[in-house]
């Protein structure tokens, strides 16, 4: 039964993928002279894409707290696996920061580039400065940026201390940081949302799952009037305390 569900979902997602690639191309053509309008176009349809993807994969999202955050906020969350992208994307209008390797993945890279994903290569010191500058630009354009400061996927049982460098973008742009906790509810330990060691196996597990329940808890925003280490520490504590209290 699981493989049948997976095949149906792959077929549906091929159609979804094609539709949103066309939408992305149209946006780049229509607004190539207006970066601000292009970002608004992409943010709207990126959220729609995430919500459609959640429907296709039967990921049901419950939101706790106020998801109507200020434009230009830096949204930070704990990271478990690929469903995090769909869950957060469906909850917020914003642009993701993703590891640089995804820029080379077949098919996925197309949507990521059309969706103006910010690619991060933390292995190169100079690239970190470029990354901070790109995030700052998006925030200054009143666009939210979503990232996972753990810089790795976990099994969902704990939250790894955050890397502080990316928080510099919020300091420079004088924009608030919004901590968000993601929690998955299933009987698997670790949760099926966990990335694991094999991407192919992880994706197949998600495709075969009849349903996946997730809760997104939007925690109180943190003022940008702090240094990056303080912002990272406060964000980590807020998410970690909420995650461990559940």
- What is the residue-level pLDDT of the chain in tens, covering all 246 positions? 788 899 999 999 889 989 998 998 999 999 988 999 999 999 999 999 999 999 999 999 999 999 999 999 999 999 998 899 999 999 999 999 987 666 566 566 777 778 888 887 766 667 888 899 999 999 999 999 999 999 888 888 899 999 999 999 999 999 999 999 999 998 888 888 888 777 788 888 999 999 999 999 999 999 988 799 999 999 999 999 999 987
Q: In this predicted structure, what is the pLDDT of residue 123?
A: 64
CATH number at residue 9: 3.40.1130
193: containing domain: 2-245
| Res 102: pLDDT | 64
pLDDT at residue number 112: 78
> Given this model, what pLDDT does residue 213 score?
96
> Domain total for the chain?
1
CA dist., res. 49 & res. 44, Å (int): 9
Could you tell me which of 86, 60, 73, 50 has the C-alpha nearest to residue 219?
73
- Give CA–CA dist 206/144, Å, rounded: 27
Residue whose C-alpha is closest to residue 154's, from 245, 79, 246: 79
pLDDT at 32: 87
pLDDT at res. 119: 81
């Amino acid at each position: 039964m699981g493989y049948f569900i997976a095949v149906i979902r792959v077929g549906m997602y091929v159609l979804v993928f094609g539709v949103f690639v066309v939408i992305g191309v149209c946006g780049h053509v229509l607004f190539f002279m207006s970066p601000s309008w292009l970002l608004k176009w992409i943010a709207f349809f990126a959220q729609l894409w995430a919500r459609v993807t959640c429907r296709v994969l039967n990921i049901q999202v419950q939101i706790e707290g106020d998801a109507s955050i200020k434009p230009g906020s830096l949204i930070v969350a704990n990271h478990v696996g690929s469903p995090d992208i769909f869950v957060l994307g469906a909850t917020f209008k914003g642009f993701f920061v993703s590891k640089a390797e995804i820029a080379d993945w077949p098919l996925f890279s197309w949507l990521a580039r059309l969706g103006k994903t910010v690619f991060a290569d933390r292995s190169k010191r100079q690239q970190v400065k470029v990354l901070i500058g790109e995030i700052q630009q998006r925030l200054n354009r009143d666009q939210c940026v979503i990232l996972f400061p753990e810089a790795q996927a976990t099994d969902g049982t704990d939250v790894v201390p955050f890397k502080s460098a990316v928080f510099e973008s919020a300091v420079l742009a004088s924009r608030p940081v919004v901590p968000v906790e993601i929690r998955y509810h299933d009987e698997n330990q670790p949760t099926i949302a966990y990335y694991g060691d094999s991407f192919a196996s992880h994706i197949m597990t998600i495709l075969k799952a009849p349903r996946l329940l997730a809760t997104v808890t939007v925690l109180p925003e943190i003022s940008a009037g702090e240094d990056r280490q303080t912002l990272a520490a406060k964000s980590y504590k807020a998410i970690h305390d909420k995650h461990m209290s559940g």
